[in-house]
Amino acid sequence: MIIAVDGPAASGKGTVARALARHFDLPHLDTGLLYRAVAYTVHRLELDPTREADAIAACDFDELTLADPALRDDEVGQLASVVSVHPLVRAALFQRQKRFANQPGGAVLDGRDIGTVIAPEADAKLFVKATAPVRARRRHHELTERGREITYEQVLADIRARDARDSARSTAPLTQAADAAPLDTSALTVEAATRRAIALVNGRLIGRRSTA
């Protein structure tokens, strides 16, 4: 069983995807980490993230980078949305994600294009969203808890800039797959969002069985 979870930054898609993986006992891949690893490598090698050739050179990143806590920084997220615009970067990361999705027994993947590009055949697809101010409040809380000094307004502006870049790019833009179930987490607690996500996936699985 493949479960695709897509959505914008700080929508709660990572939390929902991890909870689904635990509930259905499936391996989970946070695909944003791959783009973050490319971005971080571009930065470390002092390459230009806007040049496709430079970003491609960083796709061959050291596997240990994936465990680096620095990948979680907001600056790396912003840079990831710059390198992820390049079609050749997306192509370089495609097979790895596809293999993960198609492993025996299935998997949960979260990102921006899982339901549309990586696993259009997924058994269940969720599109997790929340209003920009709610997402900015969550991210601001997370960053200040980690000791970062940043204003809510700056976080909101960053989120809006990232949304615009992720939605406007021509290759694999952030968009809800036609057959994805929407899950708006704006007014939900983590527990409520998790319960709702499990119910939506179960609903999809029952729907698929009855039409098979």
Q: Give the residue, chosen from 11, 16, 24, 35, that forms a contact with ligand C5P under the rule CB under 6 A.
A: 35
* 77 near ligand C5P, judged by CB under 6 A: yes
The two structure tokens encoding residue 107: 């998997």
Instruction: Indicate whether 58 belongs to the interface with ligand C5P (CB under 6 A).
Output: no
Do residues 28 and 18 lie in contact, with contact meaning Cβ atoms separated by under 8 Å?
Answer: yes
The smaller minimum CB distance to ligand C5P, of residues 94 and 152, is found at: 94
Pick 35 or 127: Cβ nearer ligand C5P: 35
Burial of 110 (0-12, 13-18, 19+ CB in 10 A): buried
# chain residues binding ligand C5P, by CB under 6 A: 14
Contacting residues for 49 by C-beta, under 8 A, at least 6 apart: 39, 42, 43, 55, 79, 82, 83
The least distance separating ligand C5P from the CB of residue 175, rounded to whole angstroms, comes to 11
Segment lying near ligand C5P (by CB under 6 A), choices 17-25, 47-55, 110-118, 144-152: 110-118
Which segment (55-63, 77-85, 124-132, 199-207) binds ligand C5P by CB under 6 A? 77-85
3-class secondary-structure state, position 180: coil
| 111 forms part of the interface with ligand C5P (CB under 6 A) | yes
Which residues, in sequence order, are CB contacts of 195 under 8 Å at separation 6+? Answer: none
Question: Which among 10, 31, 16 has a CA at the least distance from the CA of 130?
Answer: 10
Note the residues at the interface with ligand C5P (CB under 6 A): 9, 31-32, 35-36, 77, 80-81, 84, 111-113, 162, 166
